[in-house]
Amino acid sequence: MSSAEGSRKLSFVVPEDEAGVRLDVFLSARVPGASRRRAKLHLREKLVRVNGRVEKDGYLVRAGDDVTVDRVFESPAVRPELVGGVAAALKLLTVIYEDEHLFIISKPPGMPSVVHESTDPLTAAECTAAYSRAARDASPDPREGGLVQRLDTPTSGIMLVAKHREIWAALRAKLFDQQITKTYLAIVEGEFSPVSGQVSWPLRQSRNGKKMEAVRDATVKEKESCGARTVIERLRLIRAQSGKTWSIVRCTICRARRHQVRAHLALAGHPLVGDRLYGSTTSLSEVEIDGVTFPRGEFFLHAESVAFEHPESGELLSFAAPSLEMEMCLKQA
């Protein structure tokens, strides 16, 4: 977003990984406090333009489209949980690394990355903005609080945060150029076999914007724009007395597309346990590993580590945010 708080015009550039999404879906995910219903009202009132033209809510946005919204938005009130500023933020997030250009946090499960609705619970972006004033203006959309990428609400773990616009842009470029490597831990349905494998289905967002789907019979151009590769390693097999089987897997990705790990695991026939959106038929509450259960509302997915070259110094950085509950299970394997 290229305007200051209180400005009448909000401007967004459609990123590559959101190409093909309906315009109303794109707006509801981008504009602070905007539901899909409100986005449709904006469109009906002709308050939204794409590349200078009025478009309908069903328009499918393209990478590079310039989307502008003529509307006054009030600055959100400070959350009670963040009244204490930095100290309050540190009670909610773990800061793993920090320098003058960026910092790295670990997000708890159940916390959204950014605000979508005014009724949403406290977000990671609000915490990063409370922790670092510089992060507030680092991302084009101030609602993102400098976050370079997002994690789904149930997903925990590592996130990169920029302190100024140039670093944000550099890290985003690295993200799409496959220069940032991330690993995730997950609990999936069934016995993942062989012990290691790779899923390389190109992914694009579904028309309703809710999930990612495979681009089957993809052209060369589609493979380039929608390419996604996930390397999956089985770490442990879990068998219940009922006969049900689950696997703990580690997924390594170099180009983070939305829902990539979730979608690729489902395409491999092993959706995350409890991930109804991608076809799971079991619940995380059914899984008990050496007496340990995972008290999460939906599924277990944890962003475990990240490795990348620092955009300023060129130093290779690598950090981990272990999941204590998962560490315990793997040590006992």
pLDDT values of the chain reduced to their tens digit, one per residue, 333 residues: 343 334 457 888 998 888 888 888 888 777 765 567 777 777 887 888 999 999 888 899 999 999 988 753 444 456 777 877 788 888 889 999 999 999 999 999 999 998 876 677 899 999 999 899 899 889 887 778 999 999 999 999 999 999 999 999 999 999 888 899 999 999 999 999 889 899 988 888 887 778 888 887 767 666 666 878 899 999 999 888 778 899 999 999 987 788 999 999 999 999 999 999 999 999 988 888 777 777 677 899 999 999 999 999 999 999 999 887 787 766 655
Residues 139 and 270 in one domain: no
The confidence score (pLDDT) of residue 235 equals 92
Residues 219 and 108 in one domain: no
Residues 48 and 146 in one domain: no
Task: Show which of 132, 158, 174 is a domain's final residue.
Answer: 174
Residues 244 and 145 in one domain: no
Q: Do 122 and 107 meet the contact criterion of CB atoms below 8 Å apart? A: no
On whether residue 104 sits in a domain, the answer given is yes
Residues 46 and 108 in one domain: no
The pair of structure tokens assigned to 6 is 């209180």
- Residue 117 per-residue DSSP state: S
Task: Show which of 174, 196, 225 is a domain's final residue.
Answer: 174
CATH number for 66: 3.10.290.10
Helix ranges restricted to H, 1-131: 23-30, 36-44, 86-92, 124-131
Residues 194 and 299 in one domain: yes
On whether residue 3 sits in a domain, the answer given is no
CA atoms within 13 A on the CB side of 298: 19
On whether residue 1 sits in a domain, the answer given is no
**Three-state SS at 94:** strand
Residues 50 and 130 in one domain: no
> Can you give the residue range of the structural domain that contains 119?
80-174
Task: Show which of 70, 96, 116 is a domain's final residue.
Answer: 70
On whether residue 158 sits in a domain, the answer given is yes
Residues 49 and 118 in one domain: no
On whether residue 38 sits in a domain, the answer given is yes
Residues 58 and 154 in one domain: no
Edge-first strand listing for the sheet containing 66-70: 9-13, 66-70, 48-50
Q: Do 157 and 106 meet the contact criterion of CB atoms below 8 Å apart? A: yes
What residue type is 75 in one-letter code? S
Phi first, then psi: what are they for 242, rounded to 5°? -70, -10
On whether residue 102 sits in a domain, the answer given is yes
The per-residue DSSP string of 148-198 comes to SS---TT-EEEEEEESSHHHHHHHHHHHHTT-EEEEEEEEEES---SSEEE
Q: Do 117 and 33 meet the contact criterion of CB atoms below 8 Å apart? A: yes
Distance CA 279, CA 270 (A): 9
Distance CA 66, CA 68 (A): 7
CATH number for 193: 3.30.2350.10
The residue among 97, 93, 148 whose CA lies nearest residue 124 is 93
The pair of structure tokens assigned to 202 is 């190109």
* 48-50 vs 66-70, strand pairing mode: antiparallel
Residues 200 and 63 in one domain: no
Total structural domains within the chain: 3
On whether residue 4 sits in a domain, the answer given is no
Residue at token pair 């040590």: 331
Residues 46 and 65 in one domain: yes
Q: Do 303 and 221 meet the contact criterion of CB atoms below 8 Å apart? A: no
User: E strand or H helix at 12, and its extent?
Assistant: strand 9-13
Give Cα separations from 141 to 41, 132, 136, 181, 324 (angstroms): 21, 16, 9, 24, 33
For the whole model, what pTM was predicted?
0.76
The confidence score (pLDDT) of residue 156 equals 95
Q: Which residues of 303-333 are buried (b: 16+ CB within 10 A; e: fewer)?
A: bbbbbbebbeeeeeeeeebebeebeebeeee
On whether residue 2 sits in a domain, the answer given is no
The confidence score (pLDDT) of residue 45 equals 77
Residues 22 and 103 in one domain: no
